[in-house]
Amino acid sequence: MKRRGFVAGLGVACAAGLLPGRGLAADAGHVLTATDVHVGNYPTVEAVRWIGETLARETDGRVRIRQYHSGQLGRESEAIDMARYGAIDITRVYGGALNNAFPLTIPLCLPYVFDSTAHMRHALDGGIAATVLEGFRTRGLVGLAIYDSGARSFYNTRRPLVRPEDLHGLKIRVAASDIFIRLVRLLGANPTPMSLGDTFSGMETHMIDGAENNMRSFHSSRHFEAAAYWSESEHSRAPDILLISQRSLDALEARDRDLLVDASRESVKVMRELWDASEAAARQAVSDAGVAFNAVDTDAFHAAARPLVDDYLRDAAIADIHRRIRAAA
């Protein structure tokens, strides 16, 4: 991440009084700061709220979580390093934003690695989540949980997208992730890295023609008001990952540390239930708003994405996790 972005995020954290040493008096308890760019009723935000309620209940208020949602403390890219350096404690980050620094997240984000939501959950619960989460300890972070982030599809202001050729010439917003930049380029579109918060205005001003994301975010960000075409490519189910600063976790008493880790694992079930319900509601809402849905030629999209997958599978560690995921299909 760029130094300027980190300094800006650090400035926000300082203003909020969140730097190390920010703790309250000993008798006031231990308050952990959690951030998320999503809105207050988003399933990941609700899941972390549930963790906080569990901690407060089990410790009689001695350990609590203070949440800042809706991007109040900056973008995801800033939150990653702010957590590494202890400026914040807990953050929920989209998996694609972690690929470069944490290569074990790459297999989870590859196109068409998961056949369905059921496949993804079965694979993660079968040991893959534990493998990926363990990999965060190398750079000052600890992985707490892996959350659903839905099936990602393309939406745009121009036309239905049925085959990869229909993307040719379109400017498509992508997260700052090499996988998604390369995928969109392979499909013939022009990838445009941009923050989620800037995407709506980008479509309104025709800076971009569309984006790719999950249905829940398409609705909560109100992108459906600018993009009337949703094409069900379901090219990725890249998950979200809940992280905590290593130094923040180490600062907790052993019993509180174990409680936080256990509650985080349990929160996955909470998040999934909320996700399934809210995703269905979001789909109905955007349909009622007049968004046109269309199926795609899935085989054609698979074929176009295959060179990207094959390239990443040259790495033995990535190939091993990919093999385990496919074996769980």
Q: SS3 for the chain, per residue?
A: CCHHHHHHHHHHHHHCCCCCCCCCCHHHCEEEEEECCCCCCCHHHHHHHHHHHHHHHHCCCCEEEEEECCCCCCCHHHHHHHHHCCCCCEEEEEHHHHCCCCHHHHHHHCCCCCCCHHHHHHHHHHHHHHHHHHHHHHHCEEEEEEECCCCEEEEECCCCCCCHHHHCCCEEEECCCHHHHHHHHHCCCEEEECCHHHHHHHHHCCCCCEEEECHHHHHHCCHHHCCCEEEEEEEECCCEEEEEEHHHHHCCCHHHHHHHHHHHHHHHHHHHHHHHHHHHHHHHHHHHCCCEEECCCHHHHHHHHHHHHHHHCCCHHHHHHHHHHHHCC
In the predicted model, is pLDDT for residue 267 greater than 80? yes
pLDDT value, residue 196: 86
What tokens appear for 218 in the block?
């398409």
State the virtual CA torsion across 153, 155, 161, 163 in degrees, nearest 10: -30
- Choice between 246 and 8, residue whose per-residue pLDDT is larger: 246
In the predicted model, is pLDDT for residue 87 greater than 50? yes
pLDDT value, residue 139: 84
Q: What are phi and psi of 226, to 5 degrees?
A: -110, -30
pLDDT tens per residue, range 280-307: 999 999 999 999 999 999 999 999 999 9
pLDDT value, residue 195: 86
Q: Identify the band that residue 75 occupies on the pLDDT scale cut at 50, 70 and 90.
A: confident
Distance between CA atoms of residues 39 and 46, nearest Å = 10
pTM of this structure: 0.88
Distance between CA atoms of residues 110 and 313, nearest Å = 10
- Choice between 3 and 191, residue whose per-residue pLDDT is larger: 191
pLDDT value, residue 191: 97
pLDDT value, residue 22: 44
pLDDT value, residue 2: 46
Domains (range + CATH), the chain = 3-149+239-277 (3.40.190.170), 152-237+281-327 (3.40.190.170)
Distance between CA atoms of residues 220 and 199, nearest Å = 13
- Choice between 8 and 212, residue whose per-residue pLDDT is larger: 212
> Among 128-137, 152-161, 224-233, where is mean pLDDT lowest?
128-137
pLDDT tens per residue, range 230-243: 999 999 999 999 99
pLDDT value, residue 26: 36
In the predicted model, is pLDDT for residue 83 greater than 50? yes
Could you give the angle at the alpha carbon of 235 between the alpha carbons of 151 and 286, nearest 5°? 45
